[in-house]
Copies of this chain bind each other. A is one copy, B any other.
Amino acid sequence: MASIPNASRGWQGETRAKRRGTGRTSRGRQTRDQLLDAARAVFERDGFLHARVADICDEAGTSHGSFYTYFVSKEEIFRKVVESVELDLLAVNAGTTDDPVERIRAANEHYLRTYAANAGIMRVIHQVATIDVDVWRIRFQRQDAFAHSIERRIRQFQHDHLADPDVEPAYAAQALGGMVAYFAELLFNSHDPVAFDTDKAVDELTRIWLNALGIRLPAAPAPAS
């Protein structure tokens, strides 16, 4: 009979000007880092709502008061945690090859693998995004950036006559990007076991992607199944 806690006070828009310790001292830096690490661990373990500032401090081995030397609020530290994560979800470092198929495949795989590696915090980000507009925006902008990079690629493909020219790049990019994002959640943030395999998911997502864009390569070998 789960019931749900209130975290409270101060959210979007702390206009307090208090200078917080930035960790200029090496000791300060260390404390701050410990708090960040602890926060991530606690958030992953308990979710944002149930995470208590006190728990974070305990986990970090600092006193409760110290927390506010470095962070304005629970929300703020959460954003800091978020900013330190997920940075590379879209790191389309697929630059290893020129083969379009391989690049798509690599991007998909990268997304899923990175998501898997960060599933714990991703789940919490997902949660807070439904609560806090700032975090929502972070998430949104990342997904949007992902979509934009896809969009550029689609245009390139169309320009190269590799992709169906009827496809609207902007819509398709969002749709396909969302599809991958959705699948990642399905695979790695389900409360119930799912019958999907990550490797196969990469293959299938890539196939759909190629089909969807109408990419017909000269020698497009079906992805290894």
**A residues engaging B (CB < 8 A)?**
1-13, 16, 19, 45-50, 52, 54, 58, 72-76, 123, 126-127, 130-134, 136-137, 140, 164, 166-168, 170-172, 174-176, 178-179, 181-183, 186, 190-192, 195-196, 200-201, 204-205, 207-209, 211-214, 222, 225
Contact = CB atoms under 8 A, between A and B. Distances in A.
A222 B183 contact: no
A174 B187 CA distance: 11
A126 B9 CA distance: 19
Given A171-B196, A181-B182, A2 B133 contact: yes
23 contacts: A1-B10, A1-B13, A1-B75, A2-B10, A2-B13, A2-B132, A2-B133, A4-B11, A5-B6, A5-B49, A6-B6, A10-B50, A11-B131, A16-B50, A47-B130, A49-B49, A140-B191, A166-B207, A167-B207, A167-B211, A168-B200, A178-B178, A211-B213
A167 B136 contact: no
Contacts of A2: 7, 9-13, 50, 75, 131-134
A9 to B, nearest CB: 5
Given A1-B10, A4-B75, A5-B52, 13 more contacts: A3-B6, A4-B10, A5-B7, A6-B8, A11-B47, A12-B46, A12-B47, A127-B131, A175-B204, A176-B179, A176-B208, A178-B179, A179-B182
Nearest to A196: B171
Contact of A19 (B7, B13, B54, B140): B54
Contact of A186 (B127, B174, B191): B174
A175 B205 contact: yes
